[in-house]
Amino acid sequence: MIKEYTESRMVKKHKYRGYRDLKVYQLAYKLAMEIFEVTKQFPIEERFSLTDQIRRSSRSVVTNIAEAWKKRRYEKAFISKLIDSYSEEGETEVWLDMSFDAGYLEKEKHHYFFNKYEEVSKMLYSMINQPEKFCS
């Protein structure tokens, strides 16, 4: 249901009606939900440490994008929230590395997440450097 909802709101000709239309939001949201599912298999002793941290940071990537969008009228605030999202993306990568190194994440899944978060990183970086495309 979530996947169908986000896919049905695809962007056409850069006419953004809201943050859900942003490709970076759609990808980051999808990844956060996938991380949620993957971490269900992590050991119980990691519930209040690694599992919580990786879920929190992956969700923060998404929520900061939404917050940035709502503040886009003020370019500096928009950029600041995007930088927060960019930082959370980096943190998520570290937690993914730790999950892999601890043996909780398979190599293929780690590679998948690494590549997808690299896409998110590039999109956020582009938005930070070209805010005028999004700010009103």
Give residue 101's pLDDT.
98
Q: pLDDT confidence of 17, banded at 50, 70, 90? A: confident
The whole-number pLDDT of residue 5 equals 47
**pLDDT-derived band at 134, boundaries 50, 70, 90:** confident
pTM: 0.86
Exposed e or buried b for every residue in 8-45, given b needs 16+ CB within 10 A? Answer: eeeeeeeebeebbbbebbbbbbbbbbebeebbeebeee
Three-class secondary structure of residue 10 per DSSP = coil
Domains in the chain, start-ordered, CATH in brackets?
Answer: 2-133 (1.20.1440.60)
Q: How do residues 33-64 score in pLDDT, each as one tens digit?
A: 999 999 999 999 998 899 999 999 999 999 99
| pLDDT > 80? residue 2 | no
Which pLDDT score is estimated for 31? 98
H or E, element range at 135: none
